[in-house]
Structure 1
Amino acid sequence: MSEGTKQRKGAREANESTRQSLLLAAREAFVAGGLEGARVDDIALRAGSNKQLVYHYFGSKDGLYTAVLEQVYQEIREQEAALHLDMFPAEEAMRKLIEFSFDYLRQSPGFVRLLVDENIHFGRHLKETSTVREMNRPVIDLIAQTLERGVADGVFRRGLDPLHVYLSIAGMSFFYFANIHTLSRAFSRNLEDEAEMEARKAHIVDFALNAIRVRSDGGALP
């Protein structure tokens, strides 16, 4: 490798390292204060950089916010793909996906906060990026394939829309974690307790699977 090639490679690695440091710092800031509460100066300071590099790499604070959203969606989709659900029988695959969806949100409160904040802004950052749409397509395709396998195996009922199945699975878990503090106060029950969360997960798994199963008498659930 020539000296010039080494220098160019080193510069690319330094640029990527700086970019990733800014993304990490921005993610922490946006989780803590949302888009409106985060300041570019503070993000640059957290990253050990300067705010001019934020504009150099991302164009604006909104561009940085969009990049953070793309990053968090990429992470969850990569972890879903790593489950290799196509290797399991249909019902077991759906069970694993439901459990993963719940556990991911339990372990990633920042993801919940970022999505809540983006919804406050009417999803306008996601509207302007095709990257997230491309990332999310595989999970719907995977659910569609799993449902088809389940129908062929005689365990899942016909006519289910894979997007609505996904929305139901994700929605039950997301609502729980997005509202866990208010729900705990409203019902005088500590829903942040590990035992409560395990009970909630078991309920969601049972509820979701029963919704898509063929009835024991051979008919479809109404």
Structure 2
Amino acid sequence: MARDPGTAPAPAPAPDERQRDADRSQGIILAAARDEFADHGLGGARMDRIAERAGLNKRLIYYYFEDKEKLFQAVLEQAYRDIRDRERELHLLDLEPPQAVRRLVEFTWNYYLEHPEFLTLLNSANLHKARHLEGSQRARALNSPVIETLAEILERGRRSGVFRGGVDPVQLYVSIAGLSYFYLSNSHTLSAIFGRDLLAPKARSERLSHMVDVILGYLLRS
């Protein structure tokens, strides 16, 4: 008996379309998981809540990410990918060395202010001794370019006689990140201890100027 044309099954999605759907679903899951881990940490996060935030079936989360530990690792990798993508948009190598370092300090400060979830994710990762990053080749690959860029900036500055020599780009980047990270991560306790609102607009502006002065004061030859 001939099949009724009106009942013919819909054609299966093309492979490219299926991949786009999978990428979209994973992106939604990662965004929901990022917010859940930022709010509750790894220990307090719940897969049920992540599924609810994402508006997706919990089984789909397990299908893509296996378990909560793997999902947390994927969230951390995505967090590093996001900040590194933004750093590349700075085009630091197109600038003179002092301007490039200034821009990196300013960017780091502003990114941390605009993305407090990044700091809370790092806090949670450190509570677990970074075991989710130690085995991640992806995280290492993501973080290498910024160090290579900074090394090139430092070498250009040294050759031109603007910067001192012998500066370790890893140590310098840690100092740039640390000056912002500690201040913002501890802003509530520091404000209470010193009796000043360290997140007031004036205080934030003063902090950024101070950090730029500290970093460039160390690098510039007198």
Aligned counterpart, 2:7: none
Q: Please say if 1:91 is aligned against 2:98.
A: yes
Partner of 2:44: 37
CA shift for structure 1 position 60: 0.5
Specify which of 115, 118, 134 is matched with residue 108 of structure 1.
115
1:204 correspondence with 2:205: no
The correspondence for 2:157, drawn from 150, 153, 156, is 150
Q: What letter matches 1:159 in structure 2?
A: G
- Using the TM superposition, name which of 42-51 and 5-14 deviates more: 5-14
Deviations 1:69-109 (A, max 9, x none): 01110011011111001111111111111111111111110
Computed over aligned residues only, the root mean square deviation of the Cα atoms, in angstroms, reads 1.3
State the shift of 1:11 in Å.
Answer: 2.2
Q: Which one-letter code corresponds to 1:75 in the other structure?
A: D
Letter in 2 for 1:96: R
Q: Do the aligned residues in 2 keep the contact of 1:27 with 1:68 (CA within 8 Å)?
A: yes
Q: Distance in 2 between matches of 1:177 and 1:31?
A: 15
- State which structure, 1 or 2, has the greater radius of gyration over its C-alpha atoms: 2
Distance between the aligned counterparts of 2:106 and 2:28, measured in 1?
31
Aligned pairs (5 A) from 1:8-87: 8-87=15-94
Mind listing any 5+ residue stretches in structure 1 that lack a counterpart? 216-222
| AA aligned opposite 2:17 | G
Deviation at 1:8, TM superposition (A): 2.7
Equivalent residue letter for 1:41: D
Quick one: percent identity of the two aligned structures?
Answer: 42
Give 5+ residue unaligned stretches, structure 2: 1-9
Take 1:106 and 1:192, find their aligned partners in 2: how far apart are those partners? 10
Shift of 1:4: 6.2
Equivalent-residue separation in structure 2 for 1:77 and 1:52 (angstroms)? 31
- Per the alignment, residue 214 of structure 1 pairs with 221
Give the whole-Å Cα distance in 2 for the aligned partners of 1:159 and 1:13: 47
Partner of 1:119: 126
